[in-house]
Amino acid sequence: MRILVVQHDADLAAMMSAVLLGLGFDADVAADLATADRMLGGTVCHGLVGDREQPDGDVLRLVAAHRRAGWTRPVLMLTPLDTRAERAALVEQGADDWLVKPFTGAELTARTRALYRAPVVPGRAYPPRFGDLEQRPDDGGFTRAGAPLSLTGPEAAVLRALVLAGGALVTRDRLAQCCADGQHRAEPHTVDALIVRLRRRLGPPDLIQAVRGIGYRLTGPA
């Protein structure tokens, strides 16, 4: 599996490539948006790990353009901002997951392993969906069986993490991180309350399965 690293900083690019190689992936490095654009369009690329801020522009805009053209591979975006507005922008423009800078090699390893642990196939759904749940690409909201769901920002963040996991277990700590904002850290018990509200909003049949003391997963046909 070949992953494109978009990073102008040579030291960071080397660290990111080393993480990918250590996980068994091949890594190609693009030091600018023009090179990244060319490589996404002309080479076999199974995913992208990119630093949003590049000297010649915004990597997220590049991802959004390729999403509109039908590119469906997983994207992990590095960002300096940890706010709800930033997370909403990442969701709306096509990032599957994100990592706030500064970060450690261990954090990058964990996020990359989680995002790419499932085999990537050409028909991977974008926007993200699970069963009759689908995320709207225009505003990041969700529908179930075509009907719009009225969700708060934290509820949508938790649901997105569960949908992206594709039925795999997501820990309460990870879900808490997803629904935190830049000033307040969500606690695991907050996640439990959000899950209760999500179940009410989703209605029957119940898609969310609790794994006692660990986290939650979606159940049913993906």
Let me know whether 87 and 181 are in one domain. Answer: no
Q: Report pLDDT digits (tens) over 6-31.
A: 999 888 888 888 888 777 788 889 99
Number of domains making up the chain: 2
Let me know whether 181 and 90 are in one domain. Answer: no
Local confidence band at 125 (pLDDT 50, 70, 90 cut-offs):
low
Let me know whether 147 and 176 are in one domain. Answer: yes
Q: Which two tokens stand for residue 179?
A: 């629904």
Q: Where in the sequence is the domain holding 172, given as residue range(s)?
A: 129-218
State how far the Cα of 116 lies from the Cα of 99, in Å rounded to an integer: 15
The model carries a pTM of: 0.56
Q: Report pLDDT digits (tens) over 164-182.
A: 778 888 888 878 877 664 4
State how far the Cα of 21 lies from the Cα of 206, in Å rounded to an integer: 40
Q: Over the chain, what is the mean pLDDT? A: 82
pLDDT of residue 124: 46
pLDDT of residue 114: 78
State how far the Cα of 166 lies from the Cα of 184, in Å rounded to an integer: 28
Of 180 and 201, the one with more pLDDT: 201
Tally the C-alpha atoms within 13 A of residue 10's C-alpha that lie toward its C-beta: 0
Strand-strand pairing, 147-148 and 142-144: antiparallel
Let me know whether 106 and 149 are in one domain. Answer: no
Extended beta strands in 91-192, E state: 97-100, 129-130, 133-135, 142-144, 147-148, 170-171
Q: CATH number for the domain including 63?
A: 3.40.50.2300
Q: How many CB atoms lie within 10 A of CB 19?
A: 23
Q: Are 115 and 104 in contact (CB under 8 A)?
A: no
Q: Are 222 and 130 in contact (CB under 8 A)?
A: yes
